[in-house]
Amino acid sequence: MNETKRVALITGGTRGIGLGIARSLAQSGYGLTLCGRRNREEIEGVLRELGTEGAMAHYVQADISRQPDRVKLIEEARNHFGRLDVLVNNAGIAPPERRDILEAQEESFEFVLRVNLQGPYFLTQLAARWMMEQGQNSRGFRGTVVFITSVSAEVASVNRGEYCISKAGLAMSARLWAVRLAEFGIPVYEVRPGIIATDMTSGVQQKYDALIEQGLLLQPRWGTPEDVGRAVLALVSGAFPYSTGQVIMVDGGMTVGRL
């Protein structure tokens, strides 16, 4: 096992929040395995950018909602780096079409939950087994798992119920894995972003601009992928060694109760 550089696997790591996380880890010397559904040719610029940060970035085209792709992703990460220190379950999708829950379609529900919940749940199973193996073979090994959820895990949006349910389920997944992996010394954290400026939120920019102007947030600005990246870096670097199973809010104070 390569002892000179820690390696992170970031799902959906070539755009949006995932890329913000990848940048933060690259700047701190991590080797990166990134996955997404796009062809490699479409993300060559991202890989070059991360390379200028000093990172070895390996891309695997994989759809985490599919079991064979999850297996392929872990196998390719193992073959390329030979180790895995950090899993960041970041990949997620919005509903193809926002619909009121009175008009919601089962096909959209199943699609969103396969990507946002079922995929990371079982990818964590594969990664955890590998981390446990590394821990048995290397006394200094320190694995970490991070789930990127959303304030939608607790804030209801009736025009995208399937997304809210998927994130609420992912929040429980983080707790379950924190409990199960504690005996192996593998901490598990949940990072819960709020309104983050990405391609996923670009279509509702005017809506959130107005809400921010009206005082929705204590810190009146959009969050950035880098805000989330810095939070993840702190967690995986061991800055919170006695906090497994905890939720880190990156929401500008959106969910702070106020009178």
In degrees, to the nearest 5, what angle opens at C-alpha 50 toward C-alphas 163 and 142? Answer: 70
Active-site residue, selected from the candidate residues 30, 163, 189, 208: 163
Calpha distance 178→189 (Å, rounded): 7
* Residue 45 near residue 55, CB atoms below 8 Å: no
| C-alpha pair distances (Å), 208 with each of 140, 156, 157, 197 | 45, 15, 13, 10
Q: Are 248 and 190 in contact, with CB atoms under 8 Å apart? A: yes
DSSP 3-state percent helix, strand, coil across the chain (nearest 5): 45, 15, 40
Q: Has 30 been annotated as catalytic?
A: no
Q: Which two tokens mark 75?
A: 């196998």
CA of 189: how far to CAs of 74, 148, 205, 255, in Å? 20, 9, 29, 18
Instruction: Return the exposure string of 156-193: e unless at least 16 CB atoms fall within 10 Å of the residue's CB, then b.
Output: eeeebbbbbbbbbbbbebbbebbeebeeeebbbbbbbb
Give the N- to C-terminal CA distance of the chain in Å, as an integer.
54
Positions marked catalytic: 163
